[in-house]
């Protein structure tokens, strides 16, 4: 404990020294994380021992940089210093949903923290040991429980004991995967790789009220298997889920009618599933799941005030048709979400992305700072190959 505390103090002193003597700007990127003139490396580098420094403005520069960095820091039990967090966003720094991820992982790993305050653009995270168990984490707003899950799943998947985790916040909110994507697309792919994770929807939470919750049940694994998914094969099943809370039923009738007109006239066979979504707030979601011979893909659209039901349905159809007319074996969201797990897997993984997005390339860049993994991306055909690290709890010191 005394050694860890001394190490933590050294990190803080190093940051202060960097603030006093900024490193040459021809090798660094300018930021606003720890002072108006503070400069940080564009790429991660250790400041002592096995610590990692990350510039949060790297690549896409959003919350994904933070979540991936925190997840890997926690998993590898390596101290993390991150600056310029979301500095390019309209509201820079840590928002409530990001703080929830920071504090959840701090609790899971008994980490020491500095900078864990709303709007903070810098953070020091020093994890100790991962502990499985029973947890309840509340975002306190309509922040996405699915994005919070993305941060905590990697370390808990390699914890010494099983975990049951209740997450409270938004389950179906803008700018994030909806709960049904987590349940029906993301987790099935992880199970295919050997992970044992299940999730249940306890209550629906819509923007702006939130108040939703889900429960994750995570059984630790010894290691993950590679994923070989160069082709998706033919479409076997297409299911439309319509969710509605506190709004007239004619909305989903109009949405379903429009989706059927768009897809069935093009030869697609559509199954329908309606879910009443009892919640304290109002909301409307369409989720379309395509089950192919070799994989699954998911697409969602949230209704909002002033947006006609027909246009909500059109947006959903455009997403699906763009994917189905591509050569992608995974949709664009799954492509960047699964990367971290492929990097931990044993052997060579291969998939074809619907698109090579900035999110995907940013996640690759961050993961490479933590793990001796090899990525090969062919932009011409959107193929992504990952030579994994065969991560286990026993070999984490060698990562």
What is the full DSSP assignment across 144-198?
Answer: BHHHHHHHHHHHHHTSSS-EEEEEEEBSB-TTS--HHHIIIIIHHHHHHTT-EEE
User: Distance between CA atoms of 301 and 285, rounded to whole angstroms?
Assistant: 6
Helix/strand/coil for 73: helix
Given 98, 180, 359, 382, the catalytic residue:
359
Task: Go through the domains of the chain in sequence order and give each one's CATH number.
Answer: 1-129 (3.65.10.20), 130-221 (3.65.10.20), 235-324 (3.30.360.20), 331-398 (no CATH)
- pLDDT average, residue stretch 235-261: 97
User: Distance between CA atoms of 67 and 63, rounded to whole angstroms?
Assistant: 6
Calculate the average pLDDT of the chain: 89
- Reply yes or no on whether 172 is catalytic: no
For residue 324, pLDDT over 90 is answered with yes
pLDDT at 395: 73
Q: Tell me which of 280 and 308 has the higher pLDDT.
A: 308
CB atoms within 10 A of CB 46: 13
Contact present, 292 and 235 (Cβ < 8 Å)? yes
* Residue 198 pLDDT grade (very low, low, confident, very high; cuts 50, 70, 90): very high
User: Distance between CA atoms of 306 and 157, rounded to whole angstroms?
Assistant: 42
- In whole angstroms, how far apart are CA 305 and each of 135, 207, 291, 309, 312? 35, 12, 31, 10, 11
pLDDT at 280: 86
- In whole angstroms, how far apart are CA 110 and each of 3, 104, 190, 280? 15, 10, 26, 34
Q: Pull the structure tokens for residue 5.
A: 């505390």
Angle between helix 145-157 and helix 96-109 axes, rounded to 10 deg: 20
pLDDT at 367: 98
The percentage of the chain sitting over the pLDDT mark of 90, rounded to a whole number, equals 84
Contact present, 38 and 31 (Cβ < 8 Å)? yes
CA angle 80, 85, 91 (to 5 degrees): 155
For residue 26, pLDDT over 50 is answered with no
Q: Pull the structure tokens for residue 213.
A: 């919750």
User: Distance between CA atoms of 76 and 251, rounded to whole angstroms?
Assistant: 48
Q: What is the pTM of this model?
A: 0.87
- pLDDT average, residue stretch 308-314: 98
| Residue 58 CB partners (closer than 8 Å, separation 6+) | 42, 43, 65, 362, 365, 366
DSSP character string of 101-128: HHHHHHHHHT-EEES-STT---EEEE--
When mean pLDDT is compared across 59-63, 181-185, 373-377, the lowest value belongs to 59-63
For residue 127, pLDDT over 80 is answered with yes
HSE value, Cβ hemisphere, 13 Å, CA-based, for 213: 13
User: Distance between CA atoms of 25 and 40, rounded to whole angstroms?
Assistant: 9
- Classify strands 271-276 and 383-387 as parallel, antiparallel or unpaired: unpaired
Contact present, 262 and 256 (Cβ < 8 Å)? no
For residue 15, pLDDT over 80 is answered with no
- pLDDT average, residue stretch 92-106: 97
Helices (H), the chain: 2-20, 63-76, 96-109, 145-157, 179-181, 187-192, 250-264, 309-324, 332-337, 339-344, 358-370
User: Distance between CA atoms of 73 and 337, rounded to whole angstroms?
Assistant: 17
- In whole angstroms, how far apart are CA 349 and each of 189, 233, 270, 277, 387? 13, 17, 32, 38, 6
Helix/strand/coil for 99: helix
pLDDT at 43: 37
When mean pLDDT is compared across 17-26, 51-60, 341-350, the lowest value belongs to 17-26
């Amino acid at each position: 404990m005394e050694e860890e505390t001394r190490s933590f103090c050294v990190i803080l002193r190093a940051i202060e020294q960097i603030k006093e003597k900024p490193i040459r700007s021809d090798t660094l990127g300018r930021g606003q994380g720890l002072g108006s003139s503070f400069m940080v490396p564009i790429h991660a580098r250790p400041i002592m021992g096995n610590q990692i420094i990350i510039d949060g403005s790297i690549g896409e520069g959003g919350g994904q940089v933070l979540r991936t960095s925190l997840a890997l820091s926690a998993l590898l039990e390596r101290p993390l210093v991150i600056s310029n967090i979301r500095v390019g966003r309209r509201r820079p720094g840590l928002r409530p949903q990001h703080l929830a991820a920071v504090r959840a992982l701090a609790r899971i790993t008994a980490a020491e923290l500095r900078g864990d305050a709303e709007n903070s653009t810098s953070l020091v995270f020093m994890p100790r040991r991962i502990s499985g168990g029973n947890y309840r984490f509340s975002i306190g707003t309509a922040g996405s429980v699915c994005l919070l899950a993305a941060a905590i799943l990697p370390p808990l998947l390699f914890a010494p004991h099983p975990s049951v985790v209740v997450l409270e916040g938004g389950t179906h909110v803008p700018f994030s995967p909806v709960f049904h994507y987590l349940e029906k697309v993301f987790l099935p792919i992880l199970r295919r790789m050997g992970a044992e994770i299940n999730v249940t929807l306890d209550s629906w939470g819509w923007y702006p009220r939130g108040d939703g919750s889900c429960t994750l049940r995570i059984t630790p694994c010894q290691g993950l298997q590679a994923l070989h998914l160069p082709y998706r094969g033919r479409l076997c099943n297409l299911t439309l889920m319509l969710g509605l809370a506190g709004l007239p039923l004619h909305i989903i009738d109009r949405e379903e009618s429009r989706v059927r007109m768009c897809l069935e006239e093009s030869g697609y066979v559509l199954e329908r599933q309606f879910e009443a979504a009892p919640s304290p707030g109002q909301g409307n979601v369409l989720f379309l799941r395509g089950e192919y011979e070799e994989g699954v893909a998911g697409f969602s659209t949230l209704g909002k005030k002033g947006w006609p039901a027909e246009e909500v349905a059109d947006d959903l159809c455009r997403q699906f048709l763009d994917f189905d007319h591509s050569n992608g074996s995974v949709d664009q969201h799954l492509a960047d979400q699964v990367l971290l797990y492929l990097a931990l897997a044993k052997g060579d993984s291969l998939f074809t992305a619907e698109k090579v997005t900035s999110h995907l390339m940013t996640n690759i860049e961050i993961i490479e700072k933590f793990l001796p993994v090899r990525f090969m991306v062919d932009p011409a055909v959107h193929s992504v190959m990952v030579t994994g690290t065969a991560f286990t709890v026993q070999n984490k010191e060698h990562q």
